Chain A
Amino acid sequence: MKALYLVAIGNVPEQVMDWIESTAAEWFPVPIRRLSPREIPERAYDANRKQYQSVEVMKLLAQIVPPDSCRLLGVTDVDLAIPMLSFLFGQAQVDGPVALVSLCRLRQEFYGLPADESALRSRLTKEVLHELGHTFGLVHCNNAKCAMSLATHIQRVDEKDERYCEQCGTQLVQRFSSLEAEVI
């Protein structure tokens, strides 16, 4: 059976990887495995913007997808962006094998507030469900409570529930069962 792989890109606390593993195991009925951490590609750094270009990290992920993987989720602690947008919480290939989430803007410290572990874990859960949902073909949902709704700022992430809405959940189950023979 093919597995859902996780990989830390750069320095990511082990505890955070454990949280993600338990979230993934709760929602996706496949074995969850981890790859050894990878360094963040130097070329990804944009000195002018003091951010990392998400596209370069996604390219790295695409190169290291294990043959027995159904999906690969990269986790990083750096601030991600693309040329057009000032930042990203994460990125995914819709219906594709790789996705990426960043912890940077999910941390309270980024907004000048004291660290809050439970807020970070809750936000991370939502973003992991969101990006992995994309890789299984889900697109943004109009239900603001759903993990698949589009969050363009941190308050919108906080408004979401740590779950898919009924419609997206059903779609995910259908998608999963139709892909089962093919990818798992």
Chain B
Amino acid sequence: MKKNWPILVVDDEEVMCESMAAWLREDGYRVDTAPNGQKAVELAKSSDYAICFVDLKMPGGMDGIETMMEIRRVRPEASVIIITAYATVDTAIQAMKEGAQEYIVKPCNPQEISMLVSRILKLKKLQSENAILRKKLTRQYRHHDIITKNPRMEEILALTQEIASLRSTVLIRGESGTGKELVARAVHFSGNRAEKPFIVVSCAALTETLLESELFGYEKGAFTGAAGQAKGKFELADGGTIFLDEIGDISPKLQADLLRVLQERRFYRVGGNQEVEVDVRVIAATNKNLAEEVQQGRFREDLYYRLNVIEIKLPPLRERREDIPLLAEHFVQRISSELGREISGITAAALKLLIAYDWPGNVRELENVIERAIVTCHNGMLDEQDFCWLQKKDSTAQSWDVPDVPLGELERRAIVAALERKHGNVKEASAALGIDRSTLYDKLKRYEISHRN
């Protein structure tokens, strides 16, 4: 993946710049040239160069050392190699002191340069793999790890920054695979609790009793098999954040227990009689419409309001299609590196196909699709053929599971959904439903739906 490691050559002599660039291009690198320090820094701002060859002596303006310092200020990761025609110990020492990776005297043997470049890039590749693996291991994603240029997502990211250091409870809504946990982590790791634990509990995965002891811990002898005291997730998250995923699935008893913790920040371990006090920020997530669950009597209204202090609603991927190319390129780079496959990118035709697909499984599905394509790809570039099975999957008509409810209820749900999608805009919602505005107003009144909500 040499094209992923661009190189910059900086020299006031055009012959030197162009001949060196031509030689490196024969090796498959993308090479830019700059005739002076100012131009070099300008280029470094827009391109993430892996290596910069900088001539020490450049008449007028910035010299090689100044250029190197400026480039390193803009791109701390860039390796700078200082080139000089006259070697002196003093300049070599100064260059190395200021952060030059290497100091070479021209002309030098082609083997020397070739080995130097491959040694630096080998190190960079390892560093990049290490960063990816470390991030994966600690999963300490910050807001800049969420890749987007979608205005709604950008608003959400700005909001995560604003609320990061508050203790207010956050409710994140969104379909499966839209990145609810990633946003919760961004909130936690951007705020003043970042150094404290971030504990994840998947509420749907456990039965009521298991979830209770999982959340609140238990005392010795609380139940058969409770051989000793155990801390629950709330205690483990003390000082930090607890992320309650799929909160819409918890039982009425646990809803009551949770409400007490949210109100008082205190609870009893299972089988215990001593109160435990904790300082925990709660972030909950659900793919259900909790307001509707409240209306149906399946979710406590008081708990809903306790949780819904700050609401974040994540758009599905099909409503942020402009992010698909960005996300796809990101996954190609990350997954090919993890799997040790040399995949340089995705063809324009394949991207078109990905953009057109509806992504019911959202970003998670896109990630899995890219991984599958990388595993089966044989020519170093993902093309339409690598995603042909996706088209087939898409073309098989998706069956619509109509729930067993009265027709009126279906209509009510369709109206609520349309209003949600259009952010309460009645004109747009009525157009989406194929009815006129006055008809929609009649129906809103009939079903007692407030479009302002």
| Contacting residues of chain A (48-85) with chain B, CB-CB under 8 angstroms | 49, 53-55, 81-85
Whether B202 sits at the interface, judged by CB under 8 Å, is no
Q: How far is the CB of B53 from chain A (nearest CB, A)?
A: 8
CB-based nearest A residue for B15: A55
| Contacting residues of chain B (98-133) with chain A, CB-CB under 8 angstroms | 106-111, 113-114
Q: Which residues of A lie under 8 Å from residue B23 when comparing CB positions?
A: 82, 84-85, 88, 91
Q: Are B18 and A55 in contact (CB under 8 A)?
A: yes
Q: Are A84 and B83 in contact (CB under 8 A)?
A: yes
Of B24-32, B222-230, B257-265, B347-355, the stretch lying at the interface with chain A is: B24-32
Whether B1 sits at the interface, judged by CB under 8 Å, is no
Q: How far is the CB of B114 from chain A (nearest CB, A)?
A: 5
Whether B22 sits at the interface, judged by CB under 8 Å, is yes
* Partner of B16 from A49, A84, A139 at Cβ < 8 Å: A84
Q: Which residues of B lie under 8 Å from residue A93 when comparing CB positions?
A: 22
Whether A168 sits at the interface, judged by CB under 8 Å, is no
Q: Are B15 and A94 in contact (CB under 8 A)?
A: no
Instruction: Given A83-B13, A139-B27, A140-B28, answer yes or no on A152-B22 (Cβ-Cβ < 8 Å).
Output: no
**Using a CB–CB distance below 8 Å, which chain A residues touch chain B?**
49, 53-55, 81-88, 91-94, 134, 139-140, 150, 152-153
Identify which of A53, A84, A85 gathers the most chain B CB atoms within 10 Å of its CB: A84
CB-based nearest A residue for B104: A84
Q: Which residues of B lie under 8 Å from residue A83 when comparing CB positions?
A: 13, 15-16, 19-20, 106-107
Please list the 8 inter-chain residue pairs (A to B) with the smallest Cβ-Cβ separation, ordered nearest first: A139-B28, A152-B111, A82-B19, A83-B16, A152-B110, A86-B107, A84-B20, A94-B25
Q: Which residues of A lie under 8 Å from residue B27 when comparing CB positions?
A: 139-140, 150
CA distance in complex: A14, B19 (Å): 29
CA distance in complex: A88, B111 (Å): 11
**Using a CB–CB distance below 8 Å, which chain B residues touch chain A?**
2, 13, 15-16, 18-20, 22-23, 25-28, 83, 106-111, 113-114
Q: Which residues of B lie under 8 Å from residue A152 when comparing CB positions?
A: 109-111, 114
Chain B interface main SS type? helix
Q: Which residues of A lie under 8 Å from residue B111 when comparing CB positions?
A: 152-153
Q: Which residues of A lie under 8 Å from residue B26 when comparing CB positions?
A: 91-92, 94, 134, 139-140, 150
Q: Are A87 and B110 in contact (CB under 8 A)?
A: yes
Instruction: Given A84-B23, A91-B22, A140-B26, answer yes or no on A53-B110 (Cβ-Cβ < 8 Å).
Output: no
CA distance in complex: A128, B418 (Å): 68
List 15 A-B pairs, Cβ < 8 Å: A53-B15, A54-B19, A55-B18, A81-B107, A82-B15, A83-B107, A84-B23, A85-B23, A85-B108, A93-B22, A94-B25, A134-B26, A150-B27, A152-B114, A153-B111
CB-based nearest A residue for B27: A140
Q: Which residues of A lie under 8 Å from residue B110 when comparing CB positions?
A: 85-88, 152
* Partner of B107 from A49, A91, A134 at Cβ < 8 Å: A49
Q: Which residues of A lie under 8 Å from residue B19 when comparing CB positions?
A: 53-55, 82-84, 91
Q: Which residues of A lie under 8 Å from residue B15 when comparing CB positions?
A: 53, 55, 82-83
Q: Which residues of A lie under 8 Å from residue B28 when comparing CB positions?
A: 139-140
Q: How far is the CB of A59 from chain B (nearest CB, A)?
A: 10
Identify which of B26, B28, B108 gathers the most chain A CB atoms within 10 Å of its CB: B26
